[in-house]
Amino acid sequence: MTMLKFITKDTNINFMKARYFTYILSSIMVILSIASIYLKSFNFGIDFSGGVLMEIKSEQPINIEDIRSKLSVVKLDELNLQTIGTEGKELMIRAQADNANDEAQRKAVAEIREILGNNYEYRRVETVGPQVGDELKMAGTIASILAILAIAIYIWVRFEWQFAIGALLGLFHDTIIVVGLLSFFRFDFSLTTIAAILTLVGYSVNDKVVTYDRIRENLKKYRKMPQEELINKSINDIFSRTILTGVTTLIAVIPLYLWGGDALESFSFTILSGLIIGTYSSIYVSATILNLFDLRAVHHQEEDNYFGTIG
């Protein structure tokens, strides 16, 4: 009756065997990401860097050079012009104001408006002071780390500390690699990007918890099974679920990346790459790493469902 039977078929893949290879792969990806962050930094949006951002739209295609020469009289550092959209009728004006204070930024915006006049539709006008940018950077970093730690504590309470460590490793792995990708591909790094990172943390931990739930269940069910085999079996048990959920969410998010518009581009890229990397790390980082610990030694008798059952 179902057509994609191959997905829901039982699998028996030896995930554990590949783990040394994937540890190396993960390490390389993490190192490359850190290198990219360190060397290339981020393409910070004005949320973080402070500055001026304007988006204008015209009836006719916009000539960048023309605008550039017109705006050359405005006192701003690093004037950056870029057409957006497919028809070339929209232009993004960005100016980094390294020394400029809030007042100078607003004056620049007023001047630009005056020079360009009323022939353009002003679709977006934003100025962010340098002070706010630094604060937001701080808040964003704290938020991400705090979220990961809060989640780890939850897992520690619900499972065991070994699981919390596995989840923590996996989450940092995912976050660092995704952030590395954002840095490498020069995606705009803004407040919504932070939201996307925290969302991917939420999704990724979701995946890891499902795997851990199964490992815990199997630990009780198969008391004699060697641990490595047991972890491998658990991953296989829920493999069809992992793929189904992953693919469904991908199907939901891909249109967002393709057609969601400019403002959501870096947001949906973060979620998209996070989905793939998170699914990978649930198996190859957070689950396989558990084999370093003796799970049976600490696994005492526990209630299966703290939250009871429905019915």
Show contacts with another protein in window 141-170 (CB under 8 A). 142-143, 146-147, 150-151, 154-155, 158
Return the range that interacts with another protein (CB under 8 A); candidates 74-82, 135-143, 178-186, 284-292. Answer: 135-143
Q: What are phi and psi of 266, to 5 degrees?
A: -75, -30
Residue 110 engages another protein in binding (rule: CB under 8 A): yes
Place of tokens 């860097």: 49
Distances (CA, A) of 90 to 27, 100, 210: 42, 26, 45
Helix (H) or strand (E) holding 80: strand 79-84
What letter does residue 61 receive in the DSSP assignment? P
Determine, following the binding rule CB under 8 A, whether residue 273 of this chain makes contact with another protein: no
Nearer to another protein, 108 or 295 (CB): 108
Per CB under 8 A, the list member of 30, 34, 92, 256 interacting with another protein is 256
Site map for another protein, 59-98, x if CB under 8 A?
----------------------------------------
Q: From CA 68, how far away is CA 86, in angstroms rounded?
A: 20
> Where are the alpha helices (H) located in the chain, listed in sequence order?
5-8, 19-40, 46-49, 64-71, 102-116, 130-158, 161-184, 191-221, 227-237, 239-259, 265-281, 295-298
Work out which of 181, 205, 230, 295 binds another protein, going by CB under 8 A: 205
Min dist. Cβ of residue 105 to another protein (A): 8
* 3 part of the interface to another protein, by CB under 8 A: yes
User: Smallest distance, Å, CB 45 to another protein?
Assistant: 12
Q: Which of 37, 81, 225, 247 binds another protein (CB under 8 A)?
A: 247
